[in-house]
Amino acid sequence: MSEEKQPEKRSPTLFRNYISFAGALIVTATVVSIVLLFLIELTQTANNPYLGIVTYIILPAFLAFGLIVIVIGMLLERRRRRRSPSSEIAAYPKIDLNEPRQRRLAIALLALSFIFVCASAFGSYRAYEYTESVEFCGQACHTVMKPEFVAFHATSHARIRCVDCHVGHGAESYARSKLSGARQLFALVGNNYSRPIETPVHNMRPANETCEQCHWPSKFHGAQPKTFNHYAYDEQNSLRQTRMLINVGGGDPASGPVAGIHWHMNLANEITFIASDKQRQVIPWIRVKDRNGKVTEYNDRTRALSAEEIATGEKRRMDCIDCHNRPAHAYLPPDVAVDQSFSAGRLDPSLPYLKKQTVEVLNKPYNTEAEAINTIASGLDDFYRTNYSQLYAQKTDTIKSAISETQRIFKTYFFPEMKTNWATHPNNIGHLYSSGCFRCHDGEHVSDTGKVIRNDCNICHTVVSDSARPVTIPKTIDFQHPVDLGGLADRKCESCHKANEPFRHPLNLGDISMFQCVECHPKQ
């Protein structure tokens, strides 16, 4: 009787070790977590920045770590067995697909590898897509980027992604932006980032790659009507309404006259300047090359540069963002924000001194947003409760609504933790609260031939009507300050409006501070 063949005794797989078991637990837990979070992402309606970070960045890193742990455990187990006297492990694995067991393992390995590669490709794309999202840019580092994120949603560009303006096309731009993001991450971890976050003026993409993808630079716009509503600081919150024609014009002779504000963007013109500060608010030298090739250089006679400074200075060709420098992150001054709320009906002008009180509480220095919200509520409530008790009883809901709106203004445009507000980020459109147009149109930039860049108001806008000076026959009128400024009439707007609060005389007037201006500044 023949002896039965005994089945070949197989040694346990290299996977059977504690290190690989630990790696398998990590991989299993990670995969389950990724699937669950992905399903949550599919079912939720609002975007959550932290969910995306965990699902597509943090958990995949743990998954890769678990796989590495499994491989390390198997290698260590193989080394241990080979050192054993009774070990029969060959130097290299024996692969024989004719053996059913190895064939099944090979098929299973290929199937799992295919699934893993597909999942990795999908996850990598989703990770890339997520890092390009507005939520990732604005909310991943909540405190740091909160000012930019909140102000962004209050502008007309709120539906444009951050990367459309801040990151260029192609792999090079993407890699550069992620390296910059890595540096910012280290600054965040080390708590050594700037407060406020500096505007990346010198790293902004050219306007022809950003603004001009939506806006048509050569289009002739002509004169655009605009109405300015300004509420006074008096008891009645008196409205002064000014209607102007903004002389936008155009910059291409093929589509209209080359005139108006957009003359600067005439494709045949070339305006180059040197700025002496990071924010490009001080411009001591300008060179204009017109469509005929004529070159004119202007120097600020109050801060003229030497020939060497002009030769070595960083020269920039003017484009859209030199004027439209806050298109997507505008921090409104309280005076402007409150006027807009009055015009929109969110503040009731029937509440006495509401303009004065709201601007006053918005302008106070605060250390935290919570402190500001509480002070705004108590300040406005106490003012009307103390000074207008009868009105307070009649219009309690209106006063509460005014408090809520003032708090909303603060949370939209003021960020004390990051030391960010309208004053830290000047807006170059206009010239009331920062130099803006007057950086060049200040009457101080003169060419060698004596030609001056004028600061005539009618260059950029034409006043059609002014409720402070009603006219019986429609006609254009020159802008006139509501108060006769006398010898101060030639000063820039920003010299008095820079505090953005109820006007305070530069001199301490004592008991006569309540006099009308014209009593000391009679008309000439």
Helix (H, G, I), strand (E, B) or coil at 466: strand
Instruction: Specify the length of the chain in residues.
Output: 524
DSSP per residue over 396-428, as a string?
A: HHHHHHHHHHHHHHHHHH-BGGGTBSTTTS---
Place of tokens 């991943």: 140
Are 365 and 388 within 8 A, CB to CB? Answer: no
In the predicted structure, residue 447 carries a pLDDT above the cut 70: yes
Checking if the pLDDT of 377 tops 90, the result is yes
Q: pLDDT-based confidence at 397, cuts 50/70/90?
A: very high
Element (H, E) at 299: strand 295-300
Of 109-123, 167-181, 325-339, 508-522, the range with the lowest mean pLDDT is 508-522
Residue 283 has pLDDT above 90, yes or no: yes
Split at pLDDT 50, 70, 90, the class of 354 is very high
State percent of the chain over pLDDT 90. Answer: 26
The residue with tokens 């080390």 is: 190
With tokens 């060959």, the residue in question is 90
> In this predicted structure, what is the pLDDT of residue 473?
44
In angstroms, the CA 252 to CA 269 distance is 10
- Range with the largest mean pLDDT of 212-221, 327-336, 370-379, 429-438: 370-379
Q: Is the pLDDT of residue 238 over 90?
A: yes
